[in-house]
Amino acid sequence: MGLLVFVTVLWAFSFSLIGEFLAGQVDSDFAVLSRVLLGALVFLPFTRWRGVASGQKLGILVTGMLQFGITYLCLYRSFSYLTVPEVLLFTIFTPLYVTLLDDALFRRFSPVALLAAAIATVGAGIIRYDGLSEDFITGFLLLQVANFTFAAGQVGYKHVMQHYQSDLPGYRTFGYFFFGALIIALPSFLIFGNAEKLPTTPVQWGILAWLGLAASGLGLFLWNRGACVVDAGTLAIMNNALVPAGLIVNLLIWNRDADLLRLAVGGGVIAFSLWVNARFHPRARLAVST
C-alpha cells in the first residue's frame, strides 16, 4: 500500500506537465517513445536474460504493451481533445475496469461495477453539459481505451508474477515490461510521428527526461510491485487517488479559471459512483475494511 501512495504523489504532477508543456507542442508518439526508451535504459543493466521462464517473459512483455504502450499513446492523444481536469476526472473509470478484469480472470461477475460505470458516465456528461462535441467524444473514447489497457496491464502483471513464483527480485525482470511497450511505441512513431514537432526547448526535454526516468521508470515499477501485494479492490481504489491529487495541482497552479462549479458537481457524481463500487462490490468492500 505504501508503494502505491508514494507513486500517487510522484505522478500527481504528470498530467499537468503533459497538458501544459507537451500536448499540442511535442509529437505525442515521440513523447511516448522517449518515455519508453528512458524507462528501458533504467532497467536494461539489471535485466536477467537466462533463468527466466519463457511464459513469464512473454506475460510481462504483454503487460508492458498494454499498460504502457497502448495506454500512453491513447492518453497523450486525448489531451488534444480534453482539458487536463477532464482527463483526470475521466480516469475514474480505471478502477471499474480493474475489478471487472480481475473478476473475469477468476470467472466471477458483479453487476455493481457496471452500475458504477453508468453513474460515472452521468457525471462525465454533467462536466460537459453544454453539448458533446465530436472532439469531446473522440477524446473520451481514447481515454477509455487507455483506462482499460492500463487496468489490464496492472491486473495482468499481478497474475503473471503470482503464477511464476521466483526468487528473482522484480527489478531483474521488469525490463521486459518496457521492451513490450517498445513493440507498440516504436512502430507508432515511425508510422504516425511528426518529425517537425520534436521538443525545441530545454524545459520540454527536461520534462520528458523526468517523465521517462522518474514517472515511468521508477514509478511504473513501484506501482506494479505494490499491485502485487494488495487485493484487486484496494488496487482499484488506489487508481483513483491520483484524481484529487492531480486536480489540486492543476487547478491551483495552471487552471485557475476552470469552471469549478461544473467540475465539482460532475466530479461529485463520479465520486459517488466510486462509493457505490466500494460499498457494494464484494472485493472492493473487503479492501476498504483492510
The predicted-structure confidence for 38-61, as pLDDT tens digits, reads as follows 999 999 999 999 989 999 999 999
217 within 8 A of 39, measured Cβ to Cβ: yes
Its pTM stands at 0.82
Q: Dihedrals φ, ψ of 147, to 5°? A: -60, -45
Looking at per-residue pLDDT, the higher value among 289 and 277 belongs to 277
Q: Closest Cα to residue 73, out of 108, 117, 27?
A: 27
259 sits in the region (left: phi over 0; alpha: psi -120 to 50; else beta) called beta
How many CB atoms are located within 10 Å of the residue 23 CB?
Answer: 21
Residue 290 has pLDDT above 60, yes or no: no
Tens-digit pLDDT profile for residues 61-85:
999 999 999 999 999 999 888 887 7
**Is 41 buried (19+), middle (13-18) or exposed (0-12) by CB count in 10 A?**
middle
Encode burial over 199-213: b for 16+ CB neighbours within 10 A, e otherwise. beeeebeebbebbbb
Mean pLDDT of the chain: 83
- Name residue 3's amino acid: L
Rounded to 5°, the CA angle 46-47-49 comes to 140
Q: Closest Cα to residue 177, out of 224, 226, 229?
A: 224
- Name residue 96's amino acid: L
Tens-digit pLDDT profile for residues 85-99:
788 778 877 877 887
27 within 8 A of 193, measured Cβ to Cβ: yes
Q: Give the cell for residue 208.
A: 520528458
What mean pLDDT do residues 106-119 have? 72
